[in-house]
Structure 1
Amino acid sequence: MYFDLQLTVYICVQCVKCTLLPPTVLIIQFLSIQNWIEDLLWKQLDLDYPGMPEAMVHRGFYSAYHNTTLRDGVVSGIQRTRKAYGDIPIMITGHSMGGAMASFCALDLVVNYGLDGVNLMTFGQPRIGNAAFASYFKTYLPQAIRVTHAHDIVPHLPPYFSFFPQKTYHHFPREVWTHNIGLGTLVYPVEKICDDSGEDPTCCRSVSGSSVRDHIYYLGVSMHAEDWSSCRIVMDYSKLQYQMDLNGNLVLSKQPGLSNARGFSAQ
């Protein structure tokens, strides 16, 4: 499998309506810059998900989270933050392949670490497992949200074949499909809450998945970040084992040299 991948993970604590009060939510965000869409066209389900009979997943996405330093860094960040601020809710989010990895992260935190208060919202993520996996996922993360946009190509990959529903890739619910309706100057955005099947034929599956532009823009925001976030992880900097950018964000990368190349400094 081919990945031309640069992946960055931010672990941030945020106070929603204040600047001086304690934070109210822990946000874990997976960002990626990649050239992998063509590889998803015919990638087969090739890995049994541990502890879930008949559940199969995409080996590349699974391994990118579970078999790198990302997992240890994320768990360590959560433990330190909750030690400092109590059991504040956790929001896992990501775009594109980052959304796929965010999904595996959220499931891991619930199933293998027994954490509560874990929420997931992804944007333009690909399919990551089969129907059995999607069913397990729904059980453990019933409030998960996958946001899709218009004709975004990535949520259509790897392909879903309705005539082989148990043997093909299958999205987990619940999808929220954002798109525009109207003509000419009378165009306005719509957010459609889809059914709980994960493959609602009236949502993004009702249109062709052919647009890269729709993949880049979500809710009017470009997902191509021009600079780094400014939120900080709560931890003892003297014991930091990972890279940190100039704004104090913890950066976990599959490519260790990426941090220094972008002006990051090891603490």
Structure 2
Amino acid sequence: MVVAGPPECMGRRRWFILATFVCLFAFSCGTELKVEHKHVDHHLTGYNHTLAKILVEYASAVYMSDLTQLFTWTCSRCSGLTEGFEIIELIVDVEHCLQSFVGVAKDLTAIVIAFRGTQEHSIQNWIEDLYWKQLDVNYPGMPDAMVHHGFYTAYHNSTIRPGILNAVERAKEYYGDLDIMVTGHSMGGAMASFCGLDLMVNTKAKNVQVMTFGQPRVGNAAFASYYSQLVPNTIRVTNEHDIVPHLPPYYRYFRQKTYHHFPREVWLHNIGVGSLVYQVEVVCDGSGEDPDCSRSVAGNSIADHLVYFGVELMCESWRSCGIVMDSLVSEYGKTDLKGNIVLSRDSILRMKTEMNVGEDHV
């Protein structure tokens, strides 16, 4: 039997519930995202929501397969917060299905480097493969540090690295010693982390910031410790139940032998009830494996992996490592014997000059 309380108590209870919902609604309106800080270590980078919204658009644009539109920054994703970006070099490693660009964002006063992630049509196989990946490469100069062979090779043993380093040097020649921001999604995030480390250690670059989206683990705890010291200005953004940040698996009982994320994670997730749902950004602790962040939920969603901040992070078509390029642009690029392509700023300027000359004679 249910016993009802006095009418005045019932009235107060209804007003309390109504007031609670009104407060929740008022708090959620006009606030796109709430940032919750916890266990912040002051020697590590602070999180900038506005910068994250900008860099995720670069991480999305690098998925474009029309190289002409991408290089000239006229693609469907080459606007909004990234409008006016100038690509210095676009590198496509056809042999290994990799793509990256280096350019200058004048509004950020920075060099931006972006790496493409895994093609979405093959992501299921890639995820299944990650469950069984072993630590199989000793990272040079870091005792006990081991990393994932595939991620390490994708950056260090392909045409990507020399193209990136060359483009960074030329960008500095054109615009001076700018800050460098490195980004990427999924496997592109793994490559971005190796790039940031490479720039700091091997080129002695200063003011390098790495921000990735949906990045998998790339090394063990020893590597994570070295990385956090050498590239402290790093943010890994994870989204809800995104499956990829949970891979390769982390085994807490074998901490020195298992994969381990480096800090700092920022976890996006929704809270609220019914239609009163809004997204929060939790700035996680400095461990890299904060149990109260993405590790507090099951990593079981591919859908959460493909959209961050409402921006799609996937190819615009189901093309298997395919590219589209205007024949005129291809004439001004550099192609090696394996079909790998490098389009540089100097090449496109020469092309435009010659095209203008031709028009004058028509």
> Which bin holds the TM-score, normalised by the shorter protein?
0.7 to 0.9
Aligned to 1:55: 145
Residues 118-133 of structure 1 aligned to structure 2 (within 5 Å): 118-133=208-223
- In 2, distance between residues paired with 1:11 and 1:27? 6
Is 1:25 aligned to 2:110, yes or no?
yes
Is 1:208 aligned to 2:298, yes or no?
yes
SS in 1 for 2:211: strand
- In 1, distance between residues paired with 2:295 and 2:171? 39
Is 1:147 aligned to 2:237, yes or no?
yes
Aligned to 2:107: 16
Unmatched tracts of structure 2, length 5 or more: 1-94, 318-322, 352-362
- In 2, distance between residues paired with 1:25 and 1:164? 40
- In 1, distance between residues paired with 2:104 and 2:138? 34
Give the AA of the match of 1:103. S
SS in 2 for 1:176: strand
Provide Cα deviations, 1:71-116, integer angstroms capped at 9, x if missing partner. Answer: 0000000000001111100000000000000100110110111111
Q: 1:251 to 1:56 in 2, by over 3 A?
A: farther
Per the TM alignment, residue 6 of structure 1 is displaced from its structure 2 partner at its CA by 2.5
Residues 27-106 of structure 1 aligned to structure 2 (within 5 Å): 27-34=112-119, 35=122, 36-106=126-196
- In 1, distance between residues paired with 2:196 and 2:336? 19
SS in 2 for 1:28: strand
Is 1:181 aligned to 2:250, yes or no?
no
Is 1:164 aligned to 2:164, yes or no?
no
- In 1, distance between residues paired with 2:183 and 2:240? 20
Q: 1:6 to 1:176 in 2, by over 3 A?
A: same
Aligned to 2:309: 219
| Pairwise CA RMSD | 3.0
Q: 1:28 to 1:139 in 2, by over 3 A?
A: same
Per the TM alignment, residue 203 of structure 1 is displaced from its structure 2 partner at its CA by 0.2
Q: 1:74 to 1:252 in 2, by over 3 A?
A: farther
Report if aligned partners of 1:156, 1:205 keep a CA contact under 8 Å in 2: yes
State the identity as a percent: 57
Per the TM alignment, residue 69 of structure 1 is displaced from its structure 2 partner at its CA by 1.1
Q: 1:256 to 1:118 in 2, by over 3 A?
A: farther
SS in 1 for 2:252: coil
SS in 2 for 1:163: helix
Give the AA of the match of 1:94. G
Is 1:199 aligned to 2:289, yes or no?
yes
Stretches (4+) displaced over 6 A? 250-255
- In 2, distance between residues paired with 1:175 and 1:163? 21
SS in 2 for 1:146: strand
Report if aligned partners of 1:6, 1:32 keep a CA contact under 8 Å in 2: no
- In 1, distance between residues paired with 2:247 and 2:335? 24
- In 2, distance between residues paired with 1:252 and 1:210? 41
TM-score (norm 1): 0.82
Unmatched tracts of structure 1, length 5 or more: 18-23, 228-242
Per the TM alignment, residue 254 of structure 1 is displaced from its structure 2 partner at its CA by 11
Q: 1:258 to 1:212 in 2, by over 3 A?
A: farther
Provide Cα deviations, 1:195-246, integer angstroms capped at 9, x if missing partner. Answer: 000000000000000000000010111112439xxxxxxxxxxxxxxx9966
Give the AA of the match of 1:9. S
Quick check: which has more Rg, 1 or 2? 2
